Amino acid sequence: MFKNYLTIAIRNIKKYKGCSLINISGLAVGMACFILIFLYIYDEMHYDTFHTHADRLCRVLMHKADDPSDPGIPRVPYALPAILKEEFPEILETTRVRSSEYPSAVRHGDIIFYEDRFYLVDPSFFTMFTFDFVKGDPATALKNPQSVVLTESAAARYFGDEDPMGKTLRWNNKQDLTITGIIKKVPYNSLLRFDFAASLQLYGQERLASWWTDAVAYVLLAAPGRCDWSFYSQRIGSTLDGHG
């Protein structure tokens, strides 16, 4: 039966070549578009889902209190995350992330590179987010303010096949950082793409306690739920009134 259907189909294709070409081309283009759209949507919906607490992690957006249509920006004052954690019991932990607008100079001996993916984060960063540690302990890796965690590829640039743990890197020609952790390459489907993660304490307590809007903040909720920050945004807007 199938053989007969195939024979008839081949005969029709040969008999109506022009019409068959149009139909087959349209079907091929349609299938190709469907596959590309499916892959794009699948990729977009799986960003940062590899984290253990992915369903409880939210990024904080700051809205203008007097503009309901304002989409918000992912920048908040340094002092805000601690206030959120104190005022809202559903928030278990917070972390701040600061990526430099300009490449950071990183040196080891005579080797120097200008690194684009150098982050400064709170010590809670590696307990909230799940990155695959090859060496070191995520719970204590950034406990010391003069510490830094590297990806394997970044460590290879400076140390080759040597064990980088415990060695130091000179950051921006002003601070020696001790390597306390090595992680595997950050997955491509992550908003947090970094090669270096050092302690945000390098900025100093005065700056970190200020209302300078210069950090990205994430919170870990006590239970999975919708990350709807409209209520928080109104509270934030009223709190910040007069601070900037």
pLDDT tens column, 181-198: 999 999 988 989 999 999
Per the structure, the count of domains in the chain is 2
Mean pLDDT of the residues in the chain: 85
C-alpha count within 13 angstroms, C-beta hemisphere, residue 79: 11
* Confidence band, pLDDT 50/70/90 cuts, at residue 238: very low
Regarding whether 180 and 88 lie in a shared domain, the answer is yes
Regarding whether 187 and 66 lie in a shared domain, the answer is yes
Average pLDDT over residues 214-219: 92
**Picking from 99-113, 195-209, 215-229, which range would have the lowest pLDDT averaged per residue?**
215-229
Average pLDDT over residues 17-33: 83
The better pLDDT of the pair 32, 47 is held by 32
Regarding whether 120 and 69 lie in a shared domain, the answer is yes
Regarding whether 222 and 138 lie in a shared domain, the answer is yes
Instruction: List the one residue out of 52, 66, 42, 61 whose CA is nearest residue 227.
Output: 61
Domain with 14 in it: 2-45
Regarding whether 168 and 207 lie in a shared domain, the answer is yes
